C-alpha cells in the first residue's frame, strides 16, 4: 500500500489506521445495479393565435348561421307567395262579383222592358227612368267592388313591399349578427384553450414532481444498497495471509519511518506505553519493542 511518511505521532496513528483498514477490514463492493427512474413525458401546449381562433369560430358557426338565414328567406318568400295568391284570388273574386252584378241588373232591365212592351209603353219616360236608375245602381256597385278590391290589393302590396325590404335587409342583418357571434365564439374558444393550458401546466407540474420523487427514491435506494453492502465485512485474513499480503511489512515500515527519526529513548518509551501499536503489530510488537530497547540501551 502506498502511504506518506508520517512526521508526527498523530500522522503515524492515522496512517497505521489506514493500513489496518486497507488490509484487515475488507468490504464487499456494492454491485452496479441500474435502477430505472420514472420518466413520465410532459405535454406541450401551443396557444392558437387570434387569427386561428377567428377562423375556427367561423367554421363552427357558419353552417348554423346559413341555416338560420335560409330559414328566414324561406319564411319571407312563403309569405310573399301567399300574398300573390291573395291578390289573384281578390281579383278573381272581384271580377266574379262584377259579372254577377252585371248579370243581375241586365236581367232586371230586360224584365222592365218586356213588361213595358206588353203594356204598350216600352218607350215611356217611366220605363226609361227605371232602366236608367238600375244602370246607375249597377255602375255604383261595380265601382264600389272595384274600389274595395283596389284597397285590398293595396294592403297586400304594402305587405309585399315590407317583406321585400326585410328580404333585402337580411344580408346586412345576418352579416352583422355573424360578426358578433364570431367575436363571442372567439372569446369562448380562448377561455377553453386557457383552461386547457392551465390543466396541462398542472399535469406537467405533477409529472415533474413525480419524476423528481422517483429520482430521489432511486438515489436513496442506491445509497441504502451501498450502505448495506458496506455493513457486510469479510472475515479478517489469517496472520499468514497478512504476511503474504505485505501487511506487517507496511506497518513495521511505517512505525520505523517515524520512530527512527526521533530520540531513541523517547521512541522506546512511546512504543512501550502506546498499546495502539500492539493492535496493529500483533506478535511483531514484542520483537519491535525489544529492538527499540536495544537501540535506546536501557
* Domain ranges, ordered by start, for the chain: 9-26+234-296, 50-227
CB 87 within 8 A of CB 156: yes
Out of 62-71, 95-104, 198-207, 227-236, pick the least confident: 227-236
pLDDT value, residue 34: 76
As a whole-number percent, the residues of the chain with pLDDT over 90 amount to 62
Q: Residue 44, Cβ neighbours under 10 Å: how many?
A: 7
| DSSP run (H or E) holding 27 | none
CB 76 within 8 A of CB 213: no
Place of cell 454491485: 31
As a whole-number percent, the residues of the chain with pLDDT over 70 amount to 93
Q: Residue 241, Cβ neighbours under 10 Å: how many?
A: 11
Instruction: Assign 211 a pLDDT band (cuts: 50, 70, 90).
Output: confident
CB 267 within 8 A of CB 292: yes
Say what the alpha-carbon torsion angle 79, 83, 85, 91 is, to the nearest 10 degrees.
Answer: 180
* Separation between Cα atoms, residue 153 and residue 157, nearest integer Å: 6
Place of cell 525489544: 290
Instruction: Assign 233 a pLDDT band (cuts: 50, 70, 90).
Output: low
Strand segments, DSSP code E, in 128-236 are none
Amino acid at each position: 500500500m502506498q502511504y506518506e511518511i508520517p512526521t508526527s505521532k498523530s500522522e503515524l496513528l492515522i496512517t497505521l489506521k489506514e493500513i489496518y483498514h486497507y488490509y484487515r477490514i475488507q468490504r464487499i463492493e456494492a454491485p452496479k445495479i441500474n435502477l430505472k427512474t420514472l420518466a413520465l413525458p410532459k405535454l406541450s401546449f401551443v396557444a392558437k393565435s387570434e387569427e386561428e381562433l377567428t377562423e375556427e369560430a367561423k367554421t363552427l358557426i357558419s353552417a348554423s348561421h346559413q341555416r338560420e338565414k335560409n330559414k328566414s328567406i324561406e319564411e319571407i318568400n312563403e309569405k310573399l307567395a301567399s300574398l300573390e295568391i291573395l291578390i289573384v284570388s281578390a281579383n278573381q273574386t272581384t271580377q266574379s262579383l262584377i259579372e254577377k252584378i252585371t248579370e243581375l241588373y241586365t236581367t232586371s232591365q230586360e224584365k222592365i222592358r218586356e213588361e213595358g212592351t206588353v203594356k204598350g209603353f216600352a218607350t215611356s219616360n217611366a220605363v226609361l227612368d227605371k232602366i236608367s236608375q238600375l244602370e246607375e245602381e249597377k255602375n255604383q256597385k261595380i265601382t264600389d267592388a272595384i274600389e274595395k278590391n283596389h284597397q285590398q290589393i293595396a294592403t297586400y302590396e304594402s305587405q309585399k313591399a315590407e317583406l321585400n325590404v326585410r328580404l333585402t335587409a337580411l344580408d346586412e342583418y345576418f352579416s352583422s349578427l355573424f360578426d358578433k357571434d364570431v367575436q363571442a365564439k372567439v372569446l369562448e374558444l380562448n377561455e377553453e384553450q386557457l383552461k386547457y393550458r392551465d390543466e396541462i401546466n398542472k399535469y406537467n407540474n405533477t409529472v415533474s414532481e413525480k419524476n423528481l420523487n422517483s429520482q430521489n427514491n432511486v438515489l436513496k435506494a442506491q445509497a441504502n444498497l451501498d450502505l448495506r453492502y458496506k455493513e457486510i465485512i469479510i472475515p479478517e485474513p489469517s496472520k499468514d495471509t497478512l504476511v503474504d499480503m505485505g501487511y506487517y511489512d507496511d506497518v513495521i515500515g511505517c512505525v520505523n519511518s517515524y520512530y527512527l527519526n526521533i530520540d531513541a529513548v523517547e521512541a522506546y518509551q512511546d512504543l512501550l506505553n502506546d498499546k495502539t501499536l500492539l493492535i496493529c503489530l500483533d506478535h511483531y510488537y514484542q520483537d519491535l519493542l525489544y529492538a527499540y530497547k536495544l537501540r535506546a540501551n536501557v
